[in-house]
Amino acid sequence: MELKQGTEMFQILNENGEIVNDQKAPDLSDDELKDIYSWMLRIRTFDGRAIKLNRQGRLGFYAPMAGQEACQIASMAALKKSDMLYPSYRDVGTAMYHGLPMENVFLNSRGQITGMKTPDDVNAYPPQIIIAAHVLHCAGSGWAFRLREEDHVAIAFFGDGATSEGDFHEGLNFAGVYDANSIFFCQNNQYAISVPFHKQTRAETIAQKAVAYGIAGIRVDGNDALAVYQATKDAADRARKGEGPTLIEAVTYRVGPHTMAGDDPGRYRTKEEEEGWTSKKDPLKRLRQYLDSKNLWSDEEEERVKEEVLNEMNEAIKKVEKAPKGTVSELIDDLYAETPAILKKQKDEYLSWKEGK
């Protein structure tokens, strides 16, 4: 694949699930293609059920992922389990694909400290709430991999709004200077809460910002799973060969609200815009059409995957709801290896107040 410096859109599958002119499908087996689609379907099903659980008061904070399944799953499918993942709060799909148990996702959403602990065999950090803060961590990990001459890469996922934060610029600049084994994956879903993309930057694209940092940049159709896979695979291959980091801008769309905490997309975007993305550009429909053309998927398999996910979610939420609630003392004790004096004082005051109630 010829690398474009961030202005042209890289696409392999068109909106009808057909290979576009002069493009070649990635070197994926039939089973690998089916696995990517199966996981995208899992995430879409998970998302719908998680929204209902939130509305029932059984989940806390939740940021819907619908519409961004190709970005999250196809990208991670291009990496190795030994690579390090830095997700944001909307990217629990990437974390679950990388090995994070669903139970941890639910615990985290409900404010349980144990939900933030990733298993030892899962190379991922907890979802970052602070916008763009993990871009710096991704740059640092990528630099460490370069210094140790390790065959690993670090990848950070973030939205278009994060590119307006200082941490984004500092992270990319640092990674560029030190040839970090880092991939910066921007899911440009058109809105940072209610702020549209054209109010984030005067630049035509996000990917072209890579030029300023002397790193590779590519703009990819984020609803095209094959293009996302290939772009990420190429970025990882370059990093492993010591050719530096890559900024990927995946152009996609957030179908639901920013979070379930009261956001109403109808106040800042039109129904016509939403339908244009959901009816014509849906990432699942596009990949399903491609699989159908190769006789690789069926309606029976579709229903089986959905049922498996819903059953898994039902068991996970029941288990999580039986877990003991977190405490203020636990929150303070878990923050530092050695608790600072000011926090010890606050904890003592809290315990004294609680005992006096």
Residues known to be catalytic: 254, 258, 268
Burial zone of 106 (CB within 10 Å; 0-12 exposed, 13-18 middle, 19+ buried): buried
Using CA atoms, how far apart are residues 211 and 6, in angstroms rounded to an integer? 8
Nearest alpha carbon to residue 184 among 223, 141, 151, 227: 141
Q: Locate all alpha helices (DSSP H) within the chain, ordered by sequence.
A: 30-55, 69, 75-77, 92-98, 102-109, 133-147, 166-177, 210-213, 225-240, 271-280, 283-293, 299-321, 328-333, 341-356
Strands 216-221 and 9-10 turn out to be parallel
- CA 75 from centre of chain: 9
Residue 193: strand, helix, or coil: coil
Residue 188: strand, helix, or coil: strand
Q: Which amino acid is at 310?
A: L
Using CA atoms, how far apart are residues 5 and 229, in angstroms rounded to an integer? 18
Using CA atoms, how far apart are residues 7 and 267, in angstroms rounded to an integer? 30
Report the number of secondary-structure helices (H) and strands (E) in the chain. Answer: 14, 8
Cβ atoms of 193 and 42 within 8 Å: the answer is no
Residues constituting the chain: 357
Residue appearing with tokens 């961004």: 68
Give the Cβ contact number of residue 247 at 10 Å.
28
Cβ atoms of 182 and 245 within 8 Å: the answer is yes
Cβ atoms of 307 and 246 within 8 Å: the answer is no
Two tokens, residue 345: 């004082």
